[in-house]
Amino acid sequence: MSVRLHRRGEDFYQRRSAIGLYGTRGPKRPAVRYLYPMLKKISSAPSYNGPVVQIILDGVGISPRVEGNAVAQANKPILDRLLRDYPYLELCAHGKAVGLPSDEDMGNSEVGHNAIGSGQVVDQGAMLVNQAIESGKIYERDAWKEIAGNVRDHKSTLHFLGLFSDGNVHSHINHLKALILRAKQENLGTVRVHILLDGRDVGETSALDYVLPFEKFLADIRSPEFDVKIASGGGRMKLTMDRYEADWGMVQRGWKIHVHGEGRHFASAAEAIETFRGEAKVIDQDLPGFVVAENGMPVGPIRDHDSVVFFNFRGDRAIEISRAFEDLDFKYFDRNSASGVHAPKVLYAGMLEYDGDLHIPARYLVSPPEIRNTMGEAFSESGITQLAISETQKYGHVTYFWNGNRSNKFDGETWIEIPSDRVSFDERPWMKAAEITDALIAELRTGTHRAARVNYANGDMVGHTGSLRAATMAMEAVDLCLARLLPVIDQLGGMAVITADHGNADEMFEIDKKSGLPSKNKDGSFKAKTSHTLNPVPCIFYDNTHKGKYSLAGTPKPGLANLAATTANLLGFEAPDYWHSSLIKY
């Protein structure tokens, strides 16, 4: 089994980054330490000989609906027993409870792990960008002034690249529209848009619902002095938006399409979508790349002196394309064109800073949230050794996002990464759950870690494929792992808090808003849902060591941010007042 182990005191980023940056970048950094006060012990709290383990069942929500619910339909005797026989409550994992603009906004793994790891609710990417645009501050920052000034000085093109939907997880189409309107207001004569089709955070075949109105929007603002067009695109899981360096080939495909215009030509994005749907028979996220061309020539390749804005606000799938534009010593693929055109020298900006430790990208339009006083910091300062483990797909979530968007470990942390397979997860819905469990059990038995956190990615990553059968199998695979893991926690005299970061596998069919029933396609089949849900997530206290020594506190409107204080209490410490209150009481 391949395992990447990173213990305390190592500079992890000299080996492999939690959010997809491999190799070295910048000077070696020591383990992170912030001098926050040590946590105070609770004299009346029972002491565990073994670890307190936080188990994140990624993408596992709770819904009363059985139809289309892979969680409910799965053969999962262990989870069913836990829900029946142990203290249990439901947590809010979406909307304002995790720092998003409204309660209509689905949660996601990044904001969910931020909330769990920090014990706080902070304004997140979408909210920050909304505020910056509404106030106009985004245009007052040096980044926008430099991007716009570069286009004016060189009479060049301004390019916008990013996820093209209103899913509000990675991006929002309204942000793109606002930036385009500002470009026209500032007399930036040529704008090109490179669209990554969603079908994951929104309906699986909804691309034309965005493209057609957007083309009308462009037509309404286009003029002889303002030339604006869609230039290229493709499915988000086919090109450009790789994460955690799982597949640099995705980024390379996007680079060829967006930068060099090397791809199949179409007269419009709509024509490309309709053609590929007929030929490839795939949903939007998997549509091949395309180039919009006129008179046999791409309308918007990226050239020297152009400006490029990646308008996603979420960081994980923005890192690698940012490096491709910025890194002088880039080595992951040849950035020159097939005909020998060199990689263009451009002025590049992200919507936000995607990595605050490594400062990627160097230029960004909106400052990201600064999250301090996290659980990892407080536990480190209090001498609590910590273990974080997951496979590649969610590794950054139990490390980088958990620690408040920081790349480096705190003193006393051990990070273990199990490399994910490069396959479609509906083909292997078990993913790396068994290997994660093997490594976790081995580490827990060393007695080194007082606190541990593990993410099983199956419910989310398989849920995103839209395959109900595969998602059901994913849940069953995780249940088998719980059957192996929980007895070990008992043997060691520990306990586990079993929860999730958001829903997904609990709702695998689109729901008709009027009827409340699963939506159907024209052929009578159910319409697959590939996005997260608004359902609450479980929180189970698996404790056979001190069962009955504490009770649920009756916390009003409990959410993910309540878990930090809860974990501190279970470890025998008072929670600081800057965390949301604990879910338990002694």
User: What residues act catalytically?
Assistant: 109
| Spatial distance between the Cα atoms of 405 and 315, rounded to a whole number of angstroms | 9
User: What six digits make up the tokens of 267?
Assistant: 């007269």
Question: Helix, strand, or coil here: 363?
Answer: coil
Amino acid type, 75 = N
Residue 208's CB is within 10 A of a number of other CB atoms, namely 16
What is the SS3 string spanning 480-504? HHHHHHHHHHHHCCCEEEEECCCEC
| Through-space distance between the first and last CA atoms of the chain, rounded to whole angstroms | 42
Distance of CA 394 to the CA centre of its chain: 8
| Spatial distance between the Cα atoms of 306 and 568, rounded to a whole number of angstroms | 51
| Spatial distance between the Cα atoms of 255 and 264, rounded to a whole number of angstroms | 14
Closest CA to 486 of 167, 81, 42: 81
| Spatial distance between the Cα atoms of 239 and 247, rounded to a whole number of angstroms | 10
| Spatial distance between the Cα atoms of 100 and 111, rounded to a whole number of angstroms | 8
Closest CA to 218 of 166, 158, 172, 176: 176
* Burial of residue 13, with CB atoms counted within 10 A of its CB: 0-12 exposed, 13-18 middle, 19 or more buried: buried
| Spatial distance between the Cα atoms of 106 and 168, rounded to a whole number of angstroms | 8
Q: Are strands 190-197 and 88-91 parallel, antiparallel or unpaired?
A: unpaired
Give the position of tokens 């595969």.
470
Whether residue 171 contacts residue 177, with contact meaning beta carbons closer than 8 Å, is answered with no
